[in-house]
Amino acid sequence: MLNAEEISFYLSVFKGLNPMDIYDIFKLAHTRKLAAGDIYIAEGATHQKLAYIRKGLIRAYYLKENGDEFTLLLQWEGKFIASHDAIIHQRPSRFIYQALEDTVLMEVDYEKALPVLNNNPRLSSTQASFLRGMLAESMARVESFILLSPEERYLQLIREKADIVNRVPDKYLATLLGITPVSLSRIRKRISTQGKR
Amino acid sequence: MLNAEEISFYLSVFKGLNPMDIYDIFKLAHTRKLAAGDIYIAEGATHQKLAYIRKGLIRAYYLKENGDEFTLLLQWEGKFIASHDAIIHQRPSRFIYQALEDTVLMEVDYEKALPVLNNNPRLSSTQASFLRGMLAESMARVESFILLSPEERYLQLIREKADIVNRVPDKYLATLLGITPVSLSRIRKRISTQGKR
DNA sequence: AACGGTAATTATCTTTTGTTAATTTTTCGA
DNA sequence: TCGAAAAATTAACAAAAGATAATTACCGTT
């Protein structure tokens, strides 16, 4: 079941683990493909899945009653995605997870994975590493809201995620930055007109 | 060395662990007391400590070159505090951690704690639980910046952390919410004047 | 190439925030 | 309890953002 490409893939994702550990995880994992526009996790889903994105791009958004959408998160190839409400709070997802591009996921059932992770010391520290990585990202984001203006947040985004910016419509980037699309458009104009600071 | 009060304290903090596990942690921990105003972690410190706050209140803030302070985090009794830069990024702290009240900490050296945590399956899942808890808080905070206006964030804060609000000067709460103290003062006036919504 | 729908920009106006400084209130130590 | 220092509020103005609507640009499909 494991071809050479998949073996090297697992070895690269789970650096520091030996082949037996990786096999323990592999037994739980499967591939899922999504077309651009497909919903991966619907609102209200209790979908306890954790997925590694091999290819593509997924956004999580909140849908207000009046139809407005607020993008909370973007994740792309090499990153993980899961329903935060399901994994962290064990409750139905308030958010919708949608593929913005054709996407390939390696998916594991989180409930089944947990005992395997917790019973293998190497895997449980791998688990902690992932959580630490997610925490680092989330805290960096909080920092940006406190320390930076919307314009500075946008400049930071295009500086640090230039590739992603080009793959995502501005209206999604706007709400990700905590501003409206109209306001982002004005910021873009300010930057291009006046000095690039 | 462990009196009855301390034993019940440890049992309450580390629910689900047996006394031997707790003893493993206890061997690494010690008490530290801070007076109101004391700096716990200075800027640039590489202080790899993780502390449980038994009493008191600590704020983490960023000090700009011009002297402006931006409060990033408040933690109080029952919560944990650590230098994020030191623990997560293994780099000197960009932030200052200061006690706002007389504070009592149970402190462990993080480097010494890690092998103990990782070698005990129950402790490593405890470690993951803590990380998950921190992640939940951090993500809730990102959500609030994206989904709520400054005024709504303030209302959320006084609704959910009423006790803490009264223990912290408004100027610290303002930057925690991503706004200026002047703006917070106006928000407070709007709320008290117009309907409380 | 033309069409239709979506995204982005622009315009206008209102509301909110930032900035700076003055004033009032509160706090806390002598 | 008094007085200085810090905090909070208020004022005045400039800058930015939100809301709504109109216009323009872009993109995929036929």
Same domain, A18 and A96: yes
Q: Which domain holds residue A94?
A: 4-133
Residue B17 lies in a domain: yes
Residue A139 lies in a domain: no
Residue B194 lies in a domain: no
Residue A143 lies in a domain: no
CB-based contacts of A100: which residues, under 8 Å, 6+ apart? A36, A37, A56, A57, A58, A59, A167, A168, A172
Task: Give me the CATH number covering residue B31.
Answer: 2.60.120.10
Same domain, A16 and A89: yes
Q: Residue range B149-168: average pLDDT?
A: 96
Distance CA A143, CA A140 (A): 5
Q: Residue range A13-34: average pLDDT?
A: 78
For chain B, what is the domain count?
1
Interface of B with A (CB under 8 A): 62, 70-72, 84, 88-89, 118-119, 121, 124-125, 127-128, 131-132, 134-136, 138-139, 141-143, 145-147, 175-176, 178
Same domain, A50 and A73: yes
Per CB-CB distance under 8 Å, the chain A contacts of B141 are 138, 142
Per CB-CB distance under 8 Å, the chain A contacts of B128 are 118, 124, 127-128, 131
Same domain, A92 and A25: yes
Same domain, A124 and A159: no
Residue B191 lies in a domain: no
Which of A26-35, A68-77, B54-63 has the lowest average pLDDT?
A: A26-35
| Of residues A184 and A47, more confidently modeled | A184
Nearest Cα to Cα of residue B164 among B134, B156, A49: B156
Residue B156 lies in a domain: no
Same domain, A83 and A15: yes
Residue B181 lies in a domain: no
Residue A97 lies in a domain: yes
> Can you list the positions of beta strands (E) in chain A?
29-34, 39-41, 49-55, 57-63, 69-76, 80-82, 95-99, 103-109
pLDDT exceeds 70 at position A195 = no
Nearest to A145 among B84, B135, B145 (CB): B145
Which of A55-69, A113-127, A140-154 has the lowest average pLDDT?
A: A113-127
Same domain, A39 and A123: yes
Same domain, A109 and A24: yes
Q: Residue range A24-36: average pLDDT?
A: 87
Mutate one of A85, A87, A124, A130 to test the B interface: name it (highest B CB count within 10 A).
Answer: A124
Same domain, A116 and A25: yes
